[in-house]
Structure 1
Amino acid sequence: MTDHEPELAAAAEIRARIDTDKPHSARFWNYFVGGKDHYEVDREIGDHIKEIFPGLVDVALTSRHFLGRAVTHLAGEQGIRQFLDIGTGLPTADNTHEVAQRVAPDARIVYVDNDPLVLAHARALLTSTPEGETAYLDANLYEPEAVLKAAAHTLDLSKPVALMILNTLGHVAEYGQARDLVSRLMSGLPSGSYLVISDSTATSEGMIAASDAYNSSGAVPYYVRGVDEIAGFFDGLDLVEPGVVQVTQWRPEAAGSVVDAYGGVGRKP
């Protein structure tokens, strides 16, 4: 066996797990933000949803910008040097580690996803500054204690961590379960840690119709929630101003558009 054969075998196993016959949320989102990692089936449902609700493209783009502003605030103004990003999605521009290490080169980032396509791209694209570190975990949101245990190989969980869960919790059908998963993750992080969440919201007929169309496509369903439910994820935390708002209104650099996506940042007391 050559030195490269184990890597080739692992790559072949990952490719075998990738289903190109059904739309896929990470590829679909990648298409909407202008990436290149998607298939015809993803573009077809994407174009169909654009006809139903063109505003979803704005949701995708502005949610990405929210990530950048939140990470910049935490790394620059709050001194956070550790980030745990769950539901990584496909790498595009200005990923969490790029934004954080631009502000603080010594920042350490752990990405978590259990999707084979994301895994294949993450290993190739998620790099790090020499001073910091970036790691990727093939792990599951539904096993929060296992995620924290694995993340501890890269992050010091005795020091504050920013937990990032963006455009991911909609995959959890039951709201109570989603709340429980977030609570269990935050319980394993120390005082001074932060929670960053953004998600699409059921705040217009267009968004609800787009969600229904996507969920009828054969893809893993994604459920949009009310603003009060998004706010509920931050119960017990101290919300950073301006609270849970449309992602375009969270510390914007310029006036933002109206979008069906809300987000916020909360600090653990």
Structure 2
Amino acid sequence: MAHTVQQLFDLQGKTALVTGGSRGLGLQMAQALGEAGARIVLSSRKAVDLEQAAATLQAQGIDASWIAADCAREDDIERLATETLQRLGHVDILVNNAGASWGAPAEDHPLSAWDKVMNLNVRGYFLLSQQIAKRSMIPRRSGRIINLASIAALGGNPVAMKTIAYNTSKGAVLNFTRALAGEWGRYGITVNAICPGFFRTKMAEVLIDTLGEEQMSSHAPLQRLGDDEDLKGITLLYASAAGKHITGQWMAVDGGVSALVGG
């Protein structure tokens, strides 16, 4: 029997783990999933931020809890997966969003900073996806994995940006998404990526404050930065039955920047 659009986007009875979920884009995505009916576990490194974020969702009637964990650490990732599964019973939706950046010229980029960015942005995504898939999604023959990449994955940056490790890591996330989708499709698991442009997040604050919001916005055809609703639609599409035949794909949410030649 065909489903209505409302039924296709309904997440009642579903469960979701969102890393980097205490603020910014992660919290926005968690809110979208919770508003559609999913039970949420938020994770990031700082308990104080998580407690506040979970309280914000709970005040909106969303079933939300939190677990502090560092997704750059293998032992923390294993503990996060274990505690989440103990709480939720299973995980239907995994949002890999925890991330780091580092600004430095390529010729002087510290190796320790390179390793920090790659460990969190790529290795952490892999290890947590592996844990959740093996212990929940593969046995259930169902799952949705959403990886946060960036329009920085799509090309180089102006010389002022100096974010070679971040760009490299996000490019890796796109091919990780495609490769994982190819392997795990037979288990009923979809794997997709989102490539945000410039949003007013902590990572972008320095650049926005330096260049000015008006100048940053001027690079986008829509002449604006992303707001606190702009990732909700694509998140819900990827996470719900509405996106059940979409896998191995990425979508830029950037006001049109990536549509421009050389953008």
TM-score, scaled to structure 1: 0.49
In the TM superposition, residue 231 of structure 1 has moved relative to its aligned partner by 2.0
After superposition, the C-alpha distances for 1:106-159 in whole angstroms (9 at most, x for unaligned) are x310001113663364254232555x52001112223222112222343122xx
Alignment correspondent of 2:176:
229
Which of the two has greater helix per residue?
2
Separation of aligned partners in 1, 2:117 and 2:21: 15
Residue 127 of structure 2 corresponds to residue 180 of structure 1? yes
CA contact (8 A) 1:84 1:111 kept: yes
Pick the aligned partner of 1:243 from 242, 247, 253: 247
One-letter amino acid matched to 1:122: A
Q: Is the 8 A contact 2:96 2:147 kept in 1?
A: yes
Residue 161 (structure 1) shift: 1.6
**Matched AA of 1:189:** S
Identity percentage of aligned residues? 12
Alignment of 1:91-240 (within 5 A): 91=24, 95-104=28-37, 107-115=38-46, 118-119=49-50, 121-127=52-58, 130=61, 133-141=63-71, 142=73, 143-157=76-90, 160-166=91-97, 168=99, 172-174=117-119, 175=122, 178-190=125-137, 191=140, 192-200=142-150, 201-206=152-157, 210=161, 212=163, 223-226=169-172, 227-238=174-185, 239=190, 240=244
Contact residue 21 and residue 44 of structure 2 kept, 8 A: yes
Distance 2:129 2:63 in 1: 24
Q: Give the 3-state SS of the residue equivalent to 2:176 in structure 1.
A: helix
Preserved contact between residue 202 and residue 208 of structure 1 (Cα < 8 Å): no
**Secondary structure at the counterpart of residue 149 of structure 1:** helix
* CA shift for structure 1 position 183: 1.3
Q: Distance in 2 between matches of 1:237 and 1:207?
A: 36
Give the drift of 1:162: 0.5
Specify whether residues 178 and 212 from structure 1 end up closer, same or farther in structure 2 by C-alpha distance, changes over 3 A only: same
Secondary structure in 1 aligned to 2:83? helix
Q: CA RMSD in A?
A: 4.2
Instruction: Indicate conservation of the 8 Å contact 1:199/1:230, yes or no.
Output: no
Deviation at 1:210, TM superposition (A): 2.9
Shift of 1:78: 6.8
Q: Quick check: 1:88–1:112 contact (8 Å CA) kept in 2?
A: yes
What are the superposed Cα offsets for residues 76-131 of structure 1, whole Å, 9 maximum, x if unpaired?
26766111111214157973443234332xx310001113663364254232555x
| Residue number in structure 1 paired with 2:228 | none
Separation (CA, whole Å) in 2 of partners of 1:127 and 1:199: 28
The match for 2:209 is none
Report what 1:21 is aligned to: none
Residue 193 of structure 1 deviates from its aligned partner by 2.1
Partner in structure 1 of residue 226 of structure 2: none
Runs of 5+ consecutive residues of structure 1 not aligned to the other structure: 1-71, 216-220, 250-254, 261-269
- In structure 2, the CA distance between the partners of 1:84 and 1:93, relative to structure 1 (3 Å rule), is closer
Structure 2 unaligned spans of 5+:
102-115, 191-243
